[in-house]
Amino acid sequence: MNAAASAGDGLSLVHRFEPGSAARPPILLLHGTGGDEGDLLPLGARVAPGAALLSPRGPVLENGMPRFFRRLAEGVFDEADVIARAHQLADFVDGARTTYGLASPIALGFSNGANIAAAMLMLRPRVLAGAVLIRAMVPLQAPPEAALDGVPVLILSGMLDPIVPEENAARLARQLSERGARVTHEQLPVGHGLSQADLSIAADWLARERS
């Protein structure tokens, strides 16, 4: 099923929705800079076969490339916009759950998409059932307190990543753990791009979380 805000469904973001089995948690796919609502659908089908897939397009443009929030420079975020866009995305997810009859989704985000998912976990902790954060970094320097109460989170970092310093990814893992999330942080010998190892680890982790 294709769905878009312009189609009159009442949802705030252009998106794609692929129905799936109610026996699997739905997956919220959040693309990186320059991606769109179709970008991660093949990845979602591969790592979570049979799951419903909800994939919005980031509403912010940077030199014509969709993103989920504004940044001031590489690795320097407009934190006021991060907060506003995280709430916008959370509201979209709540609306999509009603429209499509979905349970709370697990977010699977890459780069900018992983960063907005991390922000949403700390700003709207009840929206997501879990998250796979690939090449995520700290989205808010002073995040609010949140009760994540055992929400499972997988962070996949690249030891050769030129964009996300190891310390920054480790700090994000600490922030989420301190707020009660059940965090698994894997550091892989890769750069910023997606790798086969990311897909294998994410698929195994999602399968365990379903069981």
Calpha distance 153→155 (Å, rounded):
6
Tell me which residue has tokens 């030199």.
Answer: 63
Q: Catalytic annotation on 111?
A: yes
Residue among 12, 91, 94, 192 flagged as catalytic: 192
Q: Catalytic annotation on 161?
A: yes
Residue among 15, 31, 111, 185 flagged as catalytic: 111
Indicate the burial class of 10 (C-beta count within 10 angstroms; 0-12, 13-18, 19 or more). Answer: exposed
The sign of the dihedral angle between the CA atoms of 175, 180, 47, 45 is negative
Indicate the burial class of 98 (C-beta count within 10 angstroms; 0-12, 13-18, 19 or more). Answer: exposed
Residue among 157, 161, 185, 198 flagged as catalytic: 161
Calpha distance 157→103 (Å, rounded):
28
Catalytic residues: 111, 161, 192
